[in-house]
Amino acid sequence: MYVAVKGGERAIENSRRLLAEERRGDTSVPEVTLAQIDEQLSLAVDRVMTEGSLYDRELAALAVKQARGDLIEAIFLLRAYRTTLPRFGYAEPLDTVAMQVRRRISATYKDLPGGQVLGPTFDYTLRLLDFDLAAADNAPEAEAADAPLEGGMPRVTDILGHGGLIEPEEPRDEQEVGDLTRDPLRFPAERDVRLQSLARGDEGFLLSLGYSTQRGYGKNHPFAGEIRLGELAVEFVPEELGFPIEIGEITVTECQMVNQFQGSATEPAKFTRGYGLTFGHCERKAMAMALVDRSLRAEELGEQAKAPAQDQEFVLYHADNVEASGFTQHLKLPHYVDFQAELVMVRRMRETAANNAARNDDFEEAAD
């Protein structure tokens, strides 16, 4: 006799326990600590903070641990936590000139004030598996510079700006900066909201979109004007004080792309900008973001917007991996009611088609 399936609740509880056991793995292997994740998987932590929109290394490390290293799952965990946090207000804008720079490179000038600072990067490594790393007693050391880098390193775009060669970047007056976590996207979206969406957007998605612009789908002639990595103070003005106080220090990666603009009837040729900024050290993401930021400016710069990377609705509606992952994976949920509706429909359509064919045969026979 058929009995409707029961026991969903217990099955789910068991599944959760299995997950917890799998997460821990073999208990004879020491459990990974949050400090280890923070220190040794620091780029994973950086990505989770960036796309999770929350700067907290310890929570991000916890999310990575809880998600078993699945970074999109970790980003989701952090976002769901972030949304429950009360808001005290908005920090003052960051001035990246004031950054304590650890890395700063430009592809547009051989040398420039402040110099090229390579810093920690994979760029100059040979991608050979390092079997020494398989051992657990590594303690490499790097030589420290004689003196710290001077602060106030000028940005390449500012240098270009002195000659009027690049469009100026002016803050919009009086208008409040948008927040898409409070007000859903509306189109056309302003650049503030677009940048917020890109900063939260999936690195892989933006990487591929940025790449597509380099291959001719919305070409915008990019040069890596400057990439810089370092530490910045965050300031906040409490209502009751009325002046800014420093509330902490964060690491950020900034990328300024310099792009060609051929000019128009009213404007002479000049360079334009694409901007990328991430928490921590997310260089690939910052560069992809800058490429896509520039391509999304196509319309305001009078360029034809035909490529996917230039299409605001396409890019902004699909960049968020928490949304995309949820909706893709919801296909695992039962759909048997709708499938049954389709079954009934398909059977009915086949019946109609068979009847029509039979009628046609009769008709032809009658005609013979």
Q: How far is the CB of 36 from another protein (least distance, A)?
A: 26
Within 10 angstroms of residue 343's Cβ, the number of other Cβ atoms is: 11
In this structure, what token pair is assigned to residue 31?
A: 């459990």
Does residue 2 sit in helix, strand or coil? coil
Least distance (Å) between residue 336 CB and another protein: 6
Paired tokens of 88: 């005290």
Helix (H, G, I), strand (E, B) or coil at 162: helix
For another protein, the closer CB: 23 or 186: 186
Query: What CA–CA distances, in Å, run from 23 to 18, 64, 65, 66, 136?
Result: 8, 11, 8, 7, 22
User: Closest distance between another protein and the C-beta of residue 175, in Å?
Assistant: 15
Nearer to another protein, 118 or 341 (CB): 341
- Residue 337 or 366 having the CB closest to another protein: 337
Q: Which is nearer to another protein, 327 or 363 (CB)?
A: 327
Q: Rank residues 19 and 343 by Cβ distance to another protein and give the closer one.
A: 343
Report, in Å, the least distance between residue 187 CB and another protein. Answer: 5
Q: Is the dihedral of CA 175, 180, 181, 185 positive or negative?
A: positive
Shortest separation between residue 333's beta carbon and another protein, angstroms: 5
Question: Least distance in Å: CB of 80 to another protein?
Answer: 5
Q: Which is nearer to another protein, 2 or 131 (CB)?
A: 2
CA atoms within 13 A on the CB side of 137: 0
Residues β-bridged to residue 251:
231
Does a cis peptide bond (omega within 30 degrees of 0) precede residue 188? yes
Instruction: Pick between residue 168 and residue 334 the one whose CB is nearest to another protein.
Output: 334
DSSP 275-337: EEEEESS-HHHHHHHHHHHHHTTTGGGT----SGGG-HHHHHHH--HHHHHHHHHGGGS--HH
Of 152 and 188, CB closest to another protein: 188
* Residue tagged 């490499």 (tokens): 140
CB of 286 to another protein, least distance (A): 23
Of 73, 88, 104, the C-alpha closest to 281 is: 104
- Are 214 and 232 a contacting pair, CB within 8 Å? no
List interacting residues with another protein (CB under 8 A): 1-2, 4-9, 11-12, 76, 79-80, 82-84, 86, 181-188, 313, 317, 322-323, 325-330, 333-338, 340-345, 348-349, 352, 356
Rounded to 10 degrees, the C-alpha dihedral 13/19/24/25 comes to 120
Least distance between another protein and beta carbon 113 (Å): 43
Name the one residue in this structure whose structure tokens are 């990974």: 32
CB of 106 to another protein, least distance (A): 37
110 or 182: whose CB is closer to another protein?
182
